[in-house]
A and B are shown apart, each in its own frame.
Chain A
Amino acid sequence: DTGVSQNPRHKITKRGQNVTFRCDPISEHNRLYWYRQTLGQGPEFLTYFQNEAQLEKSRLLSDRFSAERPKGSFSTLEIQRTEQGDSAMYLCASGGDNQPQHFGDGTRLSIL
Protein backbone atom coordinates (compact mmCIF):
# COMPACT_ATOMS: atom_id res chain seq x y z
CA ASP A 1 0.00 0.00 0.00
CA THR A 2 1.81 3.09 -1.25
CA GLY A 3 -0.82 5.52 -0.02
CA VAL A 4 -2.15 8.63 -1.74
CA SER A 5 0.54 10.67 -3.45
CA GLN A 6 0.29 14.37 -4.28
CA ASN A 7 2.62 16.53 -6.35
CA PRO A 8 4.01 19.06 -5.93
CA ARG A 9 4.11 19.45 -2.15
CA HIS A 10 4.50 23.18 -2.41
CA LYS A 11 3.70 25.64 -5.18
CA ILE A 12 4.48 29.34 -5.13
CA THR A 13 3.19 31.39 -8.01
CA LYS A 14 2.27 34.92 -8.98
CA ARG A 15 -1.29 36.08 -9.05
CA GLY A 16 -2.85 35.46 -12.44
CA GLN A 17 -0.80 32.38 -13.30
CA ASN A 18 -2.27 28.93 -13.88
CA VAL A 19 -1.32 26.00 -11.66
CA THR A 20 -1.93 22.25 -11.88
CA PHE A 21 -1.74 19.69 -9.11
CA ARG A 22 -1.63 15.93 -9.44
CA CYS A 23 -3.00 13.20 -7.21
CA ASP A 24 -2.28 9.48 -7.45
CA PRO A 25 -4.79 7.52 -5.33
CA ILE A 26 -4.49 4.12 -3.71
CA SER A 27 -4.76 1.83 -6.71
CA GLU A 28 -7.74 -0.24 -5.62
CA HIS A 29 -9.86 2.78 -4.64
CA ASN A 30 -12.48 3.81 -7.18
CA ARG A 31 -13.35 7.17 -5.61
CA LEU A 32 -11.11 10.20 -5.55
CA TYR A 33 -11.82 13.44 -3.70
CA TRP A 34 -10.39 16.95 -3.65
CA TYR A 35 -10.64 19.17 -0.57
CA ARG A 36 -9.31 22.60 0.28
CA GLN A 37 -8.04 23.53 3.72
CA THR A 38 -7.28 27.03 4.93
CA LEU A 39 -5.49 27.95 8.14
CA GLY A 40 -7.43 27.04 11.25
CA GLN A 41 -10.18 25.25 9.36
CA GLY A 42 -11.13 21.72 8.54
CA PRO A 43 -11.01 20.46 4.96
CA GLU A 44 -13.80 21.69 2.68
CA PHE A 45 -15.08 19.48 -0.09
CA LEU A 46 -14.40 20.59 -3.66
CA THR A 47 -15.25 17.67 -5.93
CA TYR A 48 -15.14 13.91 -6.28
CA PHE A 49 -14.86 11.23 -8.94
CA GLN A 50 -16.09 7.70 -9.10
CA ASN A 51 -13.77 6.05 -11.59
CA GLU A 52 -13.49 8.66 -14.38
CA ALA A 53 -16.87 10.29 -13.77
CA GLN A 54 -16.99 13.57 -11.86
CA LEU A 55 -20.10 13.09 -9.76
CA GLU A 56 -20.26 16.17 -7.59
CA LYS A 57 -18.80 19.66 -7.51
CA SER A 58 -19.00 22.13 -4.65
CA ARG A 59 -20.11 25.72 -5.14
CA LEU A 60 -16.62 26.55 -3.88
CA LEU A 61 -15.33 25.31 -7.22
CA SER A 62 -15.54 28.41 -9.38
CA ASP A 63 -15.21 28.42 -13.15
CA ARG A 64 -11.47 28.94 -12.74
CA PHE A 65 -11.15 25.48 -11.21
CA SER A 66 -11.26 22.27 -13.21
CA ALA A 67 -10.55 18.70 -12.22
CA GLU A 68 -10.07 15.63 -14.36
CA ARG A 69 -9.55 11.93 -13.88
CA PRO A 70 -9.21 10.80 -17.47
CA LYS A 71 -8.53 7.09 -17.01
CA GLY A 72 -10.01 6.58 -13.60
CA SER A 73 -6.60 6.50 -11.99
CA PHE A 74 -4.68 9.73 -11.24
CA SER A 75 -6.41 13.10 -11.13
CA THR A 76 -5.38 16.68 -11.82
CA LEU A 77 -6.76 19.88 -10.36
CA GLU A 78 -6.11 23.05 -12.35
CA ILE A 79 -6.63 26.60 -11.18
CA GLN A 80 -6.61 29.27 -13.86
CA ARG A 81 -5.84 32.96 -13.27
CA THR A 82 -4.98 32.38 -9.63
CA GLU A 83 -6.10 34.88 -7.00
CA GLN A 84 -4.84 35.64 -3.50
CA GLY A 85 -7.82 33.84 -2.02
CA ASP A 86 -6.74 30.60 -3.68
CA SER A 87 -3.86 30.27 -1.23
CA ALA A 88 -4.58 27.11 0.74
CA MET A 89 -3.66 23.48 1.20
CA TYR A 90 -5.24 21.30 -1.48
CA LEU A 91 -5.84 17.78 -0.24
CA CYS A 92 -6.61 14.69 -2.24
CA ALA A 93 -8.20 11.58 -0.77
CA SER A 94 -9.26 8.22 -2.12
CA GLY A 95 -11.68 5.61 -0.90
CA GLY A 96 -13.76 2.65 -1.94
CA ASP A 97 -16.89 0.81 -0.94
CA ASN A 98 -16.95 0.51 2.85
CA GLN A 99 -13.51 2.11 2.95
CA PRO A 100 -12.85 5.36 4.78
CA GLN A 101 -11.08 8.10 2.88
CA HIS A 102 -7.29 8.11 2.95
CA PHE A 103 -5.53 11.42 2.41
CA GLY A 104 -2.33 12.49 0.74
CA ASP A 105 0.04 15.03 2.26
CA GLY A 106 -1.46 17.83 0.22
CA THR A 107 -0.17 20.59 -2.02
CA ARG A 108 0.33 23.93 -0.33
CA LEU A 109 -0.37 26.78 -2.75
CA SER A 110 0.95 30.27 -2.04
CA ILE A 111 -0.05 33.16 -4.28
CA LEU A 112 2.32 36.13 -4.33
Chain B
Amino acid sequence: AQSVTQLDSQVPVFEEAPVELRCNYSSSVSVYLFWYVQYPNQGLQLLLKYLSGSTLVESINGFEAEFNKSQTSFHLRKPSVHISDTAEYFCAVPQEGTYKYIFGTGTRLKVLA
Protein backbone atom coordinates (compact mmCIF):
# COMPACT_ATOMS: atom_id res chain seq x y z
CA ALA B 1 0.00 0.00 0.00
CA GLN B 2 1.11 3.51 -0.67
CA SER B 3 2.24 5.78 2.11
CA VAL B 4 3.40 9.34 2.58
CA THR B 5 6.00 10.40 5.12
CA GLN B 6 6.52 13.93 6.32
CA LEU B 7 9.44 13.67 8.68
CA ASP B 8 9.22 17.16 10.14
CA SER B 9 6.20 17.83 12.33
CA GLN B 10 7.20 21.45 12.93
CA VAL B 11 9.53 23.82 11.10
CA PRO B 12 10.25 27.25 12.59
CA VAL B 13 11.93 29.71 10.25
CA PHE B 14 12.58 33.44 10.28
CA GLU B 15 10.80 35.71 7.83
CA GLU B 16 12.56 36.06 4.46
CA ALA B 17 14.62 32.92 5.06
CA PRO B 18 14.35 29.89 2.74
CA VAL B 19 12.45 26.79 3.77
CA GLU B 20 12.15 23.17 2.66
CA LEU B 21 9.36 20.88 3.82
CA ARG B 22 10.11 17.24 3.15
CA CYS B 23 7.80 14.63 1.69
CA ASN B 24 8.66 11.05 0.77
CA TYR B 25 6.20 8.59 -0.72
CA SER B 26 6.11 4.90 -1.51
CA SER B 27 4.54 3.76 -4.73
CA SER B 28 5.17 1.12 -7.33
CA VAL B 29 3.24 2.78 -10.13
CA SER B 30 2.99 6.11 -11.89
CA VAL B 31 2.59 8.80 -9.31
CA TYR B 32 0.49 11.87 -8.92
CA LEU B 33 1.56 14.06 -6.00
CA PHE B 34 -0.01 17.02 -4.24
CA TRP B 35 0.77 19.62 -1.63
CA TYR B 36 -2.09 21.17 0.32
CA VAL B 37 -1.99 24.04 2.81
CA GLN B 38 -4.34 24.40 5.77
CA TYR B 39 -4.79 27.64 7.68
CA PRO B 40 -6.35 27.55 11.18
CA ASN B 41 -10.01 26.52 11.23
CA GLN B 42 -10.12 26.10 7.48
CA GLY B 43 -10.13 23.25 5.03
CA LEU B 44 -7.26 22.24 2.78
CA GLN B 45 -6.30 24.37 -0.21
CA LEU B 46 -4.45 22.88 -3.14
CA LEU B 47 -1.00 24.44 -3.35
CA LEU B 48 0.80 22.35 -5.98
CA LYS B 49 0.22 19.29 -8.09
CA TYR B 50 2.44 16.97 -10.06
CA LEU B 51 0.58 14.92 -12.66
CA SER B 52 3.15 14.47 -15.42
CA GLY B 53 5.67 16.44 -17.46
CA SER B 54 8.18 18.78 -15.86
CA THR B 55 9.38 17.51 -12.51
CA LEU B 56 9.49 21.05 -11.11
CA VAL B 57 6.11 22.55 -10.37
CA GLU B 58 5.42 26.03 -9.07
CA SER B 59 2.59 27.81 -7.29
CA ILE B 60 1.47 31.39 -7.76
CA ASN B 61 2.69 32.42 -4.30
CA GLY B 62 6.33 31.43 -4.71
CA PHE B 63 6.34 27.81 -3.56
CA GLU B 64 7.83 25.09 -5.72
CA ALA B 65 8.19 21.34 -5.45
CA GLU B 66 10.33 18.89 -7.35
CA PHE B 67 9.34 15.33 -8.13
CA ASN B 68 12.36 13.06 -7.69
CA LYS B 69 11.54 9.52 -8.74
CA SER B 70 14.86 7.99 -7.71
CA GLN B 71 14.56 9.38 -4.20
CA THR B 72 10.76 9.00 -4.08
CA SER B 73 10.50 12.56 -2.85
CA PHE B 74 8.38 15.63 -3.52
CA HIS B 75 9.88 18.28 -1.25
CA LEU B 76 8.30 21.72 -1.02
CA ARG B 77 10.51 24.79 -1.08
CA LYS B 78 10.25 28.54 -0.92
CA PRO B 79 13.27 30.83 -1.22
CA SER B 80 11.88 33.56 1.05
CA VAL B 81 8.96 33.00 3.43
CA HIS B 82 6.44 35.51 4.76
CA ILE B 83 4.57 35.65 8.03
CA SER B 84 1.42 34.78 6.08
CA ASP B 85 2.92 31.42 5.08
CA THR B 86 2.44 30.22 8.65
CA ALA B 87 0.15 27.20 8.26
CA GLU B 88 0.10 23.41 8.15
CA TYR B 89 1.25 21.75 4.96
CA PHE B 90 0.18 18.30 3.84
CA CYS B 91 1.63 16.08 1.14
CA ALA B 92 -0.76 13.61 -0.52
CA VAL B 93 -0.76 10.79 -3.05
CA PRO B 94 -3.73 8.90 -4.55
CA GLN B 95 -4.12 5.37 -3.27
CA GLU B 96 -3.22 2.96 -6.05
CA GLY B 97 -6.28 1.70 -7.90
CA THR B 98 -8.67 4.16 -6.24
CA TYR B 99 -9.38 7.87 -6.24
CA LYS B 100 -8.92 8.46 -2.52
CA TYR B 101 -5.88 10.32 -1.24
CA ILE B 102 -3.37 9.23 1.37
CA PHE B 103 -2.09 12.17 3.38
CA GLY B 104 1.05 12.66 5.40
CA THR B 105 0.79 13.73 9.01
CA GLY B 106 1.55 17.32 8.07
CA THR B 107 4.29 19.85 8.76
CA ARG B 108 3.49 22.94 10.76
CA LEU B 109 5.44 25.87 9.30
CA LYS B 110 5.85 28.74 11.73
CA VAL B 111 7.36 31.91 10.29
CA LEU B 112 8.97 34.13 12.91
CA ALA B 113 9.34 37.90 12.68
Contacts and interface: CB of A to CB of B under 8 A. Distances in A.
Interface stretch (B37-45, B58-66, B68-76, B77-85): B37-45
Residue from the set A33, A93, A98, A100 with the largest chain B CB neighbour count within 10 Å: A100
A40 B103 contact: no
Interface string A11-40: 000000000000000000001010000001
A48 interface: yes
B98 interface: yes
Interface residues on A, range: 20 to 34
* Main SS at interface, chain A: strand
Contacts of B100: 33, 45, 48, 56
Interface residues of B, number: 25
Given A98-B51, A100-B34, A103-B36, A42 B103 contact: yes
Nearest to B34: A100
7 contacts: A33-B100, A33-B101, A42-B92, A50-B99, A100-B32, A105-B41, A106-B43
